[in-house]
């Protein structure tokens, strides 16, 4: 077996990173006795302020169930106060606020929160890096992205990267139809930075507004559409009530989002609550993946709020070819970015060779 063909290690490295040095030798020596109960030295529970990228309607699915479950399971030892998009700081300032301790934790993609690390460009929607939501956790857990993200954020003071998961595919929803690449020209859309950067080559104009202002901006004509989500989210948050058309062509199969913590805040949490929080992240990833996936199929077939459009096959083939050039441009930005792009290439090659049902 060649080095390249060896199976990748399963997930676990990143979690052990946060728990190392936690007195495991002492614990082993005392294995025959019950551990002493954790006593909080503060006057009351550990309290975190966590801000998500999402507004409240979407947050009811992508994070609220997790935070409610964690607070209940923490049994009074720790309480997380949840804040939605822009409630404490603007979304574009999330990274800096996290780094300086203004907030204790963040749920967002790297690009939207303006993360300065070189892997930040892969957060959100990186064109054609995935086709299905299950691709993303496989890439992190078995193809090395866990280790690369931990390495990148390990070079940044004040921020701990904790866990990544998949959200929905990327579609474009607009007031006027897109039936050709020419129809994208000049359309102002609310979107995730990396996807917007790629789609701008066809004349699409990425526009940034606060999440809660998107609906009004669509109604007033400040925005022509959104390139931010899939069908499930567009229906859930009300954008499907304003947009008349949905482009079936999906630029990416899954949004890549993560959990982050302020380093000092994370270090103050005892090991059992760290593990509890990471377990709640895993459960949230699972819930979210199922919720999004089920909605995508159902709403494309049974949803009646938007007319479906599709680009001509030859034009879509050109977009796919253009993404390869985009990948190479990003790979040239750093050695670590090149490693990520190579992982995408290797994974996609395996999926293509595997054939149905993978590709």
Q: How many domains does the chain have?
A: 2
Q: Based on the fold, state whether residues 277 and 288 are members of the same structural domain.
A: yes
Q: 30 lies in a domain?
A: no
pLDDT confidence of residue 41 = 44
Q: Which residue has the tokens 């701008």?
A: 200
Q: Determine whether 8 is exposed, middle or buried from the number of CB atoms within 10 Å of its CB (0-12, 13-18, 19+).
A: middle
Look up the domain containing 128 and give its range: 13-21+43-166+256-295
Q: 72 lies in a domain?
A: yes
Q: What average pLDDT does this structure show over 234-244?
A: 97
Q: Based on the fold, state whether residues 335 and 207 are members of the same structural domain.
A: yes
pLDDT confidence of residue 300 = 93
Q: Based on the fold, state whether residues 267 and 244 are members of the same structural domain.
A: no
Contact 247, 195 (CB under 8 A): no
What CATH number did the domain enclosing 279 receive? 3.40.190.170
Q: How would you list the strands of the sheet with 170-174, edge to edge?
A: 205-207, 188-191, 225-229, 170-174, 245-252, 307-309
SS3 content of the chain, % helix, strand, coil (to 5): 45, 15, 35
Q: What average pLDDT does this structure show over 6-28?
A: 36
- Kindly report, residue by residue over 289-332, the tens digit of the pLDDT: 999 999 999 999 999 999 999 999 999 999 999 999 999 999 99
- Kindly report, residue by residue over 57-83, the tens digit of the pLDDT: 999 999 999 999 999 999 999 999 999
pLDDT confidence of residue 180 = 98
Q: Based on the fold, state whether residues 181 and 81 are members of the same structural domain.
A: no
Q: Based on the fold, state whether residues 194 and 326 are members of the same structural domain.
A: yes
Q: What average pLDDT does this structure show over 83-105?
A: 97
Q: How far is CA 250 from the centre of its chain?
A: 16
Q: Based on the fold, state whether residues 62 and 128 are members of the same structural domain.
A: yes
């Amino acid at each position: 077996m060649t080095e390249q063909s060896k199976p990748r290690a399963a997930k676990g490295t990143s979690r052990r990173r946060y728990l190392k040095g936690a007195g495991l030798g002492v614990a082993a020596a005392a294995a025959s006795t019950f551990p002493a109960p954790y006593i909080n030295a503060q006057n009351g529970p550990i309290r975190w302020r966590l801000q998500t990228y999402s507004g409240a309607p979407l947050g009811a699915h992508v994070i609220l169930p997790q935070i409610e479950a964690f607070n209940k399971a923490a049994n009074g030892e720790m309480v997380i106060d949840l804040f939605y998009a822009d409630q404490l700081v603007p979304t574009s300032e999330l990274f800096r606020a996290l780094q300086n301790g203004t907030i204790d934790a963040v749920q967002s993609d790297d690009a939207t929160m303006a993360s300065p690390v070189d892997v930040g460009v892969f957060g959100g929607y990186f064109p054609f890096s995935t086709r299905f939501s299950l691709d993303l956790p496989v890439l992190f857990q078995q193809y090395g992205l866990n280790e690369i993200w931990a390495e990148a954020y390990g070079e940044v003071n004040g921020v701990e990267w904790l866990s990544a998961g998949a959200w929905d595919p990327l579609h474009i929803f607009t007031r006027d139809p897109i039936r050709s690449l020419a129809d994208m020209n000049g359309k102002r859309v609310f979107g995730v930075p990396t996807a917007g950067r790629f789609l701008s080559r066809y004349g699409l104009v990425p526009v940034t507004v606060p999440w809660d202002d998107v609906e009004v901006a669509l109604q007033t004509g400040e925005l022509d559409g959104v390139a931010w989500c899939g069908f499930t989210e567009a229906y859930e948050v009300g954008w499907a009530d304003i947009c008349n058309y949905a482009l079936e062509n999906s630029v990416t199969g899954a949004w890549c989002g993560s959990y982050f913590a302020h380093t000092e805040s994370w270090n103050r949490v005892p090991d059992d609550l760290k593990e509890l929080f990471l377990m709640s992240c895993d459960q949230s990833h699972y819930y979210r993946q199922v919720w999004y996936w089920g909605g995508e199929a159902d709403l494309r077939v049974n949803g009646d709020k938007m007319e479906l459009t599709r680009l001509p096959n030859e034009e879509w083939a050109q977009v796919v070819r253009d993404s390869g050039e985009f990948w190479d441009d990003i790979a040239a930005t750093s050695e670590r970015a090149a490693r990520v792009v190579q992982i995408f290439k290797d994974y996609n090659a395996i999926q293509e060779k595997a054939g149905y049902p993978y590709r």
